[in-house]
């Protein structure tokens, strides 16, 4: 059984079928400024329908010199943090009639840079990079992006203020500080924080901000645990903490919801009850944060909104130095009950 492949119909095919020139066919099929005769419109449309014509977007792109795509690079699409961001970007793109091509950098700065270089080959309308969770120098990335905008592209980044491109970000330190104050206000006094590698801005800012908040509340001592920036990292750190005895800690703050959820698992696995024997708080308010029980106290970050905003920012040709700060807000849930939990003796 032969598999016959007759290539996609081209504009020429449509034109011939309709008995008009390619020029007119092109004009009706993509709403040029020129007007076309009523009956010709009709005929072209019918021909296109009959042939199942779909314009070759690549050819269109080379002819026009511009595309209708946005390139999005994220660290890990399976992470709710990034998938929510991505959903926002997709929504914004949809609204603007753009389609998005996306690649994952797998939390490697080097891969991220290579990806941007590749994506740049598509001459996308805009490039958005959401890679706050990467480590290492961003010089290569900046250079790549700079070349892109020098050639007329629009770029935007998410969560990495300091880069010379329009940015949407949150005040990690401030938000963490607010959370600390809110928690202190609830009566908590003895804290431990779980954070990621020192090289990570996000982690550092949140940890520092939290500690600053505690200091402002008159709390000076606080245990700080270093670990991986993942759920398993949170599990490991919490396990360590528990093994060392947590007589002197009432509340465990992890710089990330994922880590906090890992920590909660460790607490449970140790036979303790999170929210009862020890309070837990996270940061990001990803979807699962409200599903775990006790529901996780955290700081709400408008992830979806941020993705959309990044699109708008890039599209609007914002000033490279513009940083759009998004509002955050501590949300206290049952993982940090109002009455100070009984310490386990």
62 touches DNA by CB under 7 A: yes
**149-178: contacts with its own copies (CB under 8 A):** 150-152
Tell me which residues in 198-257 interact with its own copies (CB under 8 A).
231
Asked if 35 is part of the footprint of DNA (rule: CB under 7 A), the reply reads yes
Give dist(CA 197, CA 227) in Å, integer. Answer: 6
Per partner kind, with CB cut-offs from 5 to 8 A, the member of its own copies, DNA, none near residue 32 is DNA
Secondary structure class of 222 (helix, strand, coil)? strand
Strands (E), the chain: 69-74, 99-104, 126-130, 154-158, 167-170, 191-195, 222-226, 251-254, 279-281, 298-300, 323-326, 329-331
In the list 17, 36, 72, 159, the residue contacting DNA (rule: CB under 7 A) is 36
Pick what 306 binds: DNA, its own copies, none; C-beta below 5 to 8 Å, kind-dependent: none
Asked if 32 touches DNA (CB under 7 A), the answer is yes
> Does residue 34 belong to the site contacting DNA (CB under 7 A)?
yes
Q: Which does 150 bind (CB under 5 to 8 A by kind): its own copies, DNA, none?
A: its own copies
- Output the six-digit token pair for 237: 């750190």
Which position among 42, 49, 50, 63 is part of the footprint of DNA (CB under 7 A)?
A: 63
Between 19 and 164, CB nearer to DNA: 19
Tell me how far, at minimum, the Cβ of 32 lies from DNA, in Å: 5
Among 141, 180, 255, 264, binds its own copies (CB under 8 A): 264
Q: How many residues bind DNA (CB under 7 A)?
A: 29
SS3 content of the chain, % helix, strand, coil (to 5): 45, 15, 40
Q: Is the peptide bond before 294 cis (omega within 30 degrees of 0)?
A: yes
Q: Does the footprint of DNA cover residue 290 (CB under 7 A)?
A: no
Give the burial string for 284-318 (b: 16+ CB within 10 Å, else e).
bbbeebeebebbbbbbbbbbbbbbbbbbbbbbeeb
Complex with DNA: residue 27 or 133, whichever CB lies closer: 27
Give me the half-sphere count of Cα atoms (radius 13 Å) on the Cβ side of residue 174. Answer: 9
For β-strands 298-300 and 329-331, DSSP reports them as antiparallel
Q: Which stretch binds its own copies (CB under 8 A): 20-28, 86-94, 248-256, 325-333?
A: 86-94
Please give the residue ranges that form the binding site for DNA (CB under 7 A).
7, 10-12, 20-24, 26-27, 29-30, 32, 34-37, 39-40, 53, 55-56, 59-60, 62-65
């Amino acid at each position: 059984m032969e598999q016959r492949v007759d290539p996609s119909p081209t504009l020429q095919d449509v034109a011939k079928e309709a008995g008009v020139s390619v020029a007119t066919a092109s004009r009706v099929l993509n709403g040029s400024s020129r007007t076309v005769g009523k009956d010709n419109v009709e005929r072209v449309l019918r021909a296109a329908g009959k042939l199942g014509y779909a314009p070759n977007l690549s050819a269109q792109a080379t002819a026009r010199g511009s595309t209708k795509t946005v390139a999005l690079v994220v660290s890990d699409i399976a992470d709710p943090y990034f998938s929510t961001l991505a959903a926002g970007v997709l929504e914004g793109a949809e609204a603007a009639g753009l389609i998005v091509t996306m690649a994952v950098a797998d939390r490697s700065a080097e891969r991220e840079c290579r990806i941007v270089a590749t994506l740049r080959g598509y001459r996308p309308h805009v490039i958005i990079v959401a890679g706050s969770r990467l480590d290492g120098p961003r010089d290569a990335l900046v250079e790549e992006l700079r070349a892109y905008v020098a050639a007329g592209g629009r770029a935007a980044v998410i969560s990495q203020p300091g880069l010379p491109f329009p940015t949407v970000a949150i005040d990690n330190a401030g938000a963490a500080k607010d959370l600390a104050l809110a928690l202190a206000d609830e009566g908590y006094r003895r804290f431990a924080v779980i954070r990621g590698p020192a090289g990570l801005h996000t982690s550092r800012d949140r940890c520092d901000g939290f500690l600053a908040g505690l200091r402002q509340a008159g709390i000076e001592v606080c245990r700080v645990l270093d670990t991986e920036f993942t759920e398993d990292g949170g599990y490991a750190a919490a396990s360590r903490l528990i093994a060392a005895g947590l007589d002197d800690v009432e509340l465990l703050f992890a710089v990330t919801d994922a880590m906090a959820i890992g920590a909660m698992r460790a607490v449970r696995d140790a036979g303790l009850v999170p929210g009862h024997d020890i309070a837990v708080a996270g940061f990001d308010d990803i979807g699962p944060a409200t599903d775990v029980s006790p529901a996780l106290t955290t700081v709400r970050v408008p992830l979806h909104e941020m993705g959309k905003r990044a699109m708008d920012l890039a599209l609007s040709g914002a000033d490279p130095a513009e940083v759009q700060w998004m509002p955050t807000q501590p949300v206290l849930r049952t993982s940090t009950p109002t009455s100070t939990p009984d310490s386990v003796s």
